[in-house]
Structure 1
Amino acid sequence: MPGLIQSSYVGGTGFATELYPGYTSPYWNGFGGKAVDLLQFTDAAQVAGHTVDANAFRGSLDDLRRLLGLTPPTTQGDLMALTDAQQTDLYQKIQDIWGQLLGPDGHGWPQLGQNPEGKNLTLVDAVAKVGGQILAAQPKAAP
């Protein structure tokens, strides 16, 4: 288990990368003869529209695993179980899905229309727009 977890919060909200005070911050100064192992530097980081705690660790992923008493994985992850040909095939399929959903270079499809800012719609944007139009065209139920 970690020896010392320091909680020293920076001000403000935003992405953790913007809020992080850096490796040389005095927040990393230990006390009681013990170095800080983990630094919790905010409870206001923004991730996917949610406000969360953000923590930092100075070291590699394997260093963190050792600190937490976890054994390193025996493989480099699930993708390493795939052959080179399978990885290439998977990558191409992901590229195809990306292209179909987001359009050429991720900039939407001109044939699907544009949003109020004049940007091309993605497939998901267009489906949502059509769904909204269908709902709006439905007759209203009498009270």
Structure 2
Amino acid sequence: MRVAVQAEPFDFGAEAAAFTRDLPGAGAVVTFTGLVRDLSGDLAAMQIEHYPGMTERAIAAIAGEAMTRWSLVDCLVIHRHGDLAPGETIMMVATASAHRGDAFAAAEFLMDYLKSRAPFWKKEITTSGAEWVAAKDADEDALKRW
């Protein structure tokens, strides 16, 4: 299990290749990569803040829960912070298990957690100013299934 919270961009292909290199007993790998979206059409940057140490511990705890809850062989979570431009990769989740159902469910669980509970604070910087991103009801509702 690996959790990385970093400002630097990451290479999805290289991360996926490294993740799948040695997975004894795995029959399924699921990956997901999130991108910074420009819904308003004038997004200059998404500014993501966090508390170093606290964020990594919180994500590691939920990744550990996913590892046991779905009998994962391995999992990976990468989440970026700092100023990100529209279209940049913001995060990646990878899960590996003996069967696809566990890998898919664990990946969705991790993504739902990252979207609504991971300790990140996001601010959209637009041409007309800056605004903190509020929690969305749909993201909260997604957590209820777990």
TM-score band by shorter chain is under 0.3
Which structure's residues are more often strand, by fraction?
Answer: 2
TM-score, structure 1 as length reference: 0.23
Structure number, greater radius of gyration: 1
Question: Bigger relative contact order, structure 1 or 2, given CA contacts below 8 A and separation 6+?
Answer: 2
